[in-house]
Structure 1
Amino acid sequence: MLFSLALILLLGMLLGSIFSKLKLPPLLGMLITGIVLGPYVLNLISPSLLNISADIRKIALIIILTRAGLNLDIKDLKKVGRPAFFMCFLPAVCEIIATIFIAPKIFKISLIEAGILGSVLAAVSPAVIVPTMLKIMSKGYGIKKSIPQLILAGASVDDVFVIVIFSAFLELGKGGNIILTDLFKIPTSIFTGIFGGVIVGLLLVKFFNYLHIRDSAKVIIILSISFILVTIEQHINSAFGFSGLLAIMAIGGTIKKYKNNLAQRLALKYSKLWVGAEICLFVLVGATVNIHYLKNAGFLGIILILLVLLFRIIGVGISLIKTNLNWKERIFTMIAYTPKATVQAAIGGIPLALGLSCGNLVLTIAVLSIVFTAPIGAFAIEHLYKKLLAK
């Protein structure tokens, strides 16, 4: 395992650096590193590391979402309230509906199978979006109109919504029925996640005021609490959901509101942690990509992804109606809301593991969406934000 980890960090960093010098997103180099080192090409990553790959990716996601929360001003979120609310679900709904209509015509599958496929495709990737938005915020682009904050907020809730919808379609695919109480998990997950995060954040602020400890120790405490919150989310099986990732962002936002100087110092600590976490995240996402499946969907798969992305973009456009964003800023927001990666890697193989007839196709399209949209979306964001957003 240690040798595999060394390969992941060294080669991931090397290829990321090479791609960065070529004016390409470093994550593209990291994804390629994962694909090459992964079990479907050179098979140089040990099975023991692959077995805990999902947990390592989750830790990396926790680090970047905490960093996002520590940089997120609640006043900015209030400014983008209504469009942020619609961005949480409307683009995903548009993409799922488009997949249900288009996929059966292309791949000759049922409407329920198309629903499963659409709900896998519809999630946007916080792993791609959050670090790029933080970079844009740090350079002062789009912050006057809170555009990066709008995208951050929407992307964080989008995943909660999509995963619940995926679970509902999966039940139908297995021959069961959609339980209406499951859909109730969407608003309860969002509310309890934010509320729980705010409460924990307030307690941490009081604790840090009372007990003076080093910032490194504070990072360890916050990380440990974040791990507990994500574990709680995984073990809740009631009608009331709970979003651990939203709670983690809320903790950061609460510390930012009540102890801004501390939030800035902690954000610097988390940015250092992110250097290694980013490499692990994208290399291990790349390792899940089975390039042999790509031959099965090929051209038709890309056509489907492009068509449903158009509907996602339309959904973003509708969400931005009656905002003060100009056409350039709207175009940037639409582009920034297209990358896929982490959720597709996490749930793309579930239908196949359950033995559903559409499983192979779903996994293939999920892999294709990662390979196609993550690097292109990151590249577009990187090269367009200075042209489309005001500094």
Structure 2
Amino acid sequence: MTLCLAIAATLLTFGALISLLGNAAVPPDGGIFQLVMLTFVALAFGFLASLCKLPPLLGMLIAGIMLKNVGAFNLEGTYLDAVSTLRKLAMVVILIKAGLGLDPLALKRLSCTVLRLAFCPCLVEAVTVMCAANLLLRMPWLWGILLGCVLGAVSPAVVVPSLLGLKEQGYGEDKGIATLVIAASSLDDIAAISLFGIFLGLIFTDQGGNLTMLILQGPIEIFIGIAFGLCYGLLIVYVPHREESNVKIWRILLLLGGGILSVLGSERIGFGGAGPLGLIVAAFVASSGWFSNPNNANITKTVEGFFSTAWVIFQPILFGLIGTEIKFSELETSTLLLGLAVLFFGLCLRVATVWIITVNGILSLKERLFVSIAWFPKATVQALLAPIALDLARETNAPEEMIHLGEQVLTIAVLSILVTAPIGAVAIKFSGPRLLNQMKNEQS
């Protein structure tokens, strides 16, 4: 009966889309049809993965990879902008969910560890990748550090939902492990993206712009993100008033609208790294303010429940679209093995760095091992940054050598997604219950 209802709902959806949008929704080439198909297939693969006791996002990634490489997902033109926007909207939802789930007491207790975790592993991996790429691939130093910046970022799209899943089961809550990793991940991405911009500017000197501005980009983004998050978070703590009749709806709309403004608006003004950080801060400040009043508890849980439900819809969209970034035809065979070695060396030093910088904290050996495992999946930032150097080389009619280097950066970045995203998701899922303490729900 359920299957029949699902089939009927699917047919009804397609019928409505075709009626409203015409050729854009007509299979197999309609852009809307392809997006809807990707969502349904990703949902199905995610469900199959969960039946196999694997993270659903693994199945969703595989769905995107499969559809792209069999030629069933080929969007062009304006639809590429739509894909990018959908991916960002999905990130807005998961970042709000992450911010609402941060523990203020744990964040205060782990603030120094957050800062070390945000910057040290990223920098160590970037330098390691630079050296390995120069040694193994004969890649120039500047291109090597550029590749290191691409690979140095952790993926919130993989880490955040995986950590939140463990958090909901109570794992690591005694030490605030989820809060530690989620808070550090946004700063880690800012560091990687900012350094990438600096070295990209040095390589393409004509496009580099003001070097001083490139260097200041990271600190400015951190300042803008925190300032926006604090101001907007405080605003929605008090507006609307908790006695407002539709306060739940207003809080949801204000969080969602502010999230879209933060993530998309920051990109418009050239400070894209500030958006995700600002959104996490805003959601965290708002949640802390709401929970400070016991009368707000039920309202806040309703808001959290809405974004948890929204994530069920957006999760297959996000990971399905990330999967479509992996095109086997663009993977250079000659680069794959050496690229895998470069990736391996970078990850080893990254994990070792995480282990070292958490040595004097409050984490146990098992918890330090878990944080090390949780700190290496890659996906969204790599999908974002990987093609930029190659596109710029082609647009500026750069020498063939630079185009080839851009292709190598793209190949290794795609390889990093293919290897670390599924392995990282599985490792987090299965190591969490074994390495973290579980806090029982008071109701259980």
Report the CA distance between 1:328 and its aligned residue: 0.9
Partner of 1:44: 73
Instruction: Check if 1:234 corresponds to 2:267.
Output: yes
Partner of 1:331: 369
Distance 1:10 1:231, change over 3 A: closer
Report the CA distance between 1:278 and its aligned residue: 0.7
Q: Deviations over 1:251-287 (max 9, x none)?
A: 1111211112233221110010001111000111111
Partner of 2:239: 207
Aligned-CA RMSD value:
1.8
Q: Deviations over 1:317-343 (max 9, x none)?
A: 232131121211111000000000000
After TM superposition, list the pairs within 5 Å mapping 1:153-168 onto structure 2: 153-168=183-198
Contact 1:9/1:279 (<8 A) preserved: yes
Moved more, 62-71 or 318-327: 318-327
Task: Give 1:34's aligned amino acid.
Answer: G
SS of the residue 2:47 aligns to: helix
After TM superposition, list the pairs within 5 Å mapping 1:284-323 onto structure 2: 284-296=321-333, 297-323=335-361
**Aligned partner of 2:217 among 170, 185, 202:** 185
Instruction: Check if 1:95 corresponds to 2:125.
Output: yes
Instruction: Check if 1:56 corresponds to 2:93.
Output: no
Which of 1 and 2 has greater Rg?
Answer: 2
Report the CA distance between 1:242 and its aligned residue: 6.5
Distance 1:233 1:51 in 2: 17
After TM superposition, list the pairs within 5 Å mapping 1:230-309 onto structure 2: 230-237=263-270, 243-260=274-291, 261=297, 262-296=299-333, 297-309=335-347
Contact 2:102/2:178 (<8 A) preserved: no
Distance 1:371 1:241 in 2: 25
Mark the runs of 5 or more structure 2 residues left unpaired by the alignment: 1-30, 292-296, 394-401, 439-444
Q: Deviations over 1:72-91 (max 9, x none)?
A: 12221001011101111110
Distance 1:131 1:263 in 2: 20
Report the CA distance between 1:187 and its aligned residue: 2.5
Report the CA distance between 1:375 and its aligned residue: 0.1
Instruction: Check if 1:125 corresponds to 2:163.
Output: no
Report the CA distance between 1:295 and its aligned residue: 4.1
After TM superposition, list the pairs within 5 Å mapping 1:371-386 onto structure 2: 371-386=418-433
Distance 1:241 1:8 in 2: 27
Contact 2:106/2:179 (<8 A) preserved: yes
How many residue pairs were aligned? Answer: 388
Q: TM-score, normalised by structure 2?
A: 0.84
Task: Give 1:257's aligned amino acid.
Answer: S
Distance 1:241 1:372, change over 3 A: closer
Partner of 2:113: 83
SS of the residue 1:209 aligns to: coil
SS of the residue 2:384 aligns to: helix
Distance 1:27 1:12 in 2: 9
Higher relative contact order (CA closer than 8 Å, sequence separation 6+): 1
Partner of 1:221: 254
Instruction: Check if 1:73 corresponds to 2:103.
Output: yes
